[in-house]
């Protein structure tokens, strides 16, 4: 699933092309469950709700993309496993996994003829439209934890000390901290030499401060490299990320640890997998 750096890459790509543009038409080829329209719009379609609305801005909250439209309406997108936006020539042949097509009103005489497509071969992605006064009451947004890049070290320590829980599941909990997933949780725990089962209340303030610093450093570095492409992540321009070339532990099961030469293992913790080095990340 795309995590904070991958979603931020998409958001930054969208910010370059669609603010100020007006939706001319929206065509869908998506499963009914993929598109959610607020009941306030009285069963209108995605096209009828956003057609004619201008894109004002694009924001990110955790792993969510928020496209703010004129008239106090937000198009809220979650990429889930394989969703992505592509800005391509509208004459390009349609792919069977292109699920939504966004055409814009020409804004110059020499309009470039490009349009936006939402592509999702696993079809788990979600596009939702809500009035702004309803948006932040919705499950998936209402209870999100703080942004890891905005969180101070002291606040992170206090967050971890509130109650005892295993550190890896805590980092994956979007209500605890928003935007992290398996990749950056595994990588930050590895460089901090913290076992993923370690209880949060047993970690010292110094160790938690170190972990906080590594989380922020890894996220910023990944954003600079347009994220990590493991399966299908790509920016709006179709370019893949390159941070996978810098990963030390995620996806490296049975490979030697950079620090000690021992084997990296993959273990299920809770309902999710964790990659770590049992020598360097000892469970004390």
Domain 4-135 has CATH 3.20.190.10: yes
Q: Which of 27, 54, 266, 272 is catalytic?
A: 272
Q: Could you say which of 3.40.980.10, 1.20.1730.10, 1.10.8.50, 1.10.3720.10 is the CATH number of the domain covering 153-276?
A: 1.10.8.50
Q: What percent of the chain has pLDDT above 70?
A: 99
Query: Is 19 a residue of the active site?
Result: no
Q: Is the dihedral of CA 62, 67, 73, 76 positive or negative?
A: negative
Each domain of the chain, given as residue ranges in start order, spans: 4-135, 153-276
Q: Which of 3, 6, 187, 210 is catalytic?
A: 3
Q: Give the C-alpha separation, 181 to 171, whole Å.
A: 7
Query: Is 2 a residue of the active site?
Result: yes
Q: What is the pTM of this model?
A: 0.96
Q: Which of 60, 63, 126, 168 is catalytic?
A: 63
Q: Which of 2, 5, 169, 196 is catalytic?
A: 2
- pLDDT tens digits for 166-184? 999 999 999 999 999 999 9
- pLDDT tens digits for 88-107? 999 999 999 999 999 999 87
- CB environment 110-122: b (16+ within 10 A), e (fewer): eeeebbbbbbbbe
Contact 218, 187 (CB under 8 A): yes
Query: Is 94 a residue of the active site?
Result: no
């Amino acid at each position: 699933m795309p995590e904070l750096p991958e979603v931020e890459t998409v958001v930054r790509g969208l910010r370059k092309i669609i603010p100020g543009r007006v939706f001319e038409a929206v065509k869908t080829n998506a499963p009914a469950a993929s598109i959610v329209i607020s009941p306030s719009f009285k069963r209108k379609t995605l096209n009828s709700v956003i057609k004619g609305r201008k894109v004002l801005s694009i924001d990110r909250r955790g792993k969510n993309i928020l496209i703010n439209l004129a008239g106090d309406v937000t198009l809220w997108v979650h990429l889930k496993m394989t969703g992505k936006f592509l800005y391509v020539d509208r004459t390009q042949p349609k792919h069977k996994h292109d699920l939504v097509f966004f055409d814009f009103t020409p804004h110059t005489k020499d309009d470039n003829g490009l349009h936006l497509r939402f592509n999702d071969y696993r079809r788990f992605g979600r596009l939702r439209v809500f009035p702004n006064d309803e948006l932040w009451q919705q499950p998936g947004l209402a209870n999100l934890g703080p942004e890891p890049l905005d969180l101070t070290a002291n606040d992170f320590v206090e967050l971890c000390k509130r109650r005892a829980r295993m550190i890896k599941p805590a980092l994956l909990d979007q209500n605890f901290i928003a935007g992290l997933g398996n990749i950056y949780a595994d990588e930050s725990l590895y460089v901090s030499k913290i076992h993923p089962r370690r209880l949060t209340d047993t970690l010292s303030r110094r160790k938690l401060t170190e972990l906080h610093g590594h989380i922020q450093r890894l996220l910023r570095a990944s954003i600079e490299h347009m994220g990590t492409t493991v399966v299908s992540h790509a920016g709006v321009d179709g370019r893949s990320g390159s941070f996978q070339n810098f990963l030390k532990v995620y996806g490296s099961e049975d490979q030697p640890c950079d620090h000690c030469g021992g084997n990296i293992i993959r273990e299920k913790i809770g309902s999710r997998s964790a990659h770590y080095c049992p020598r360097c990340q000892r469970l004390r």
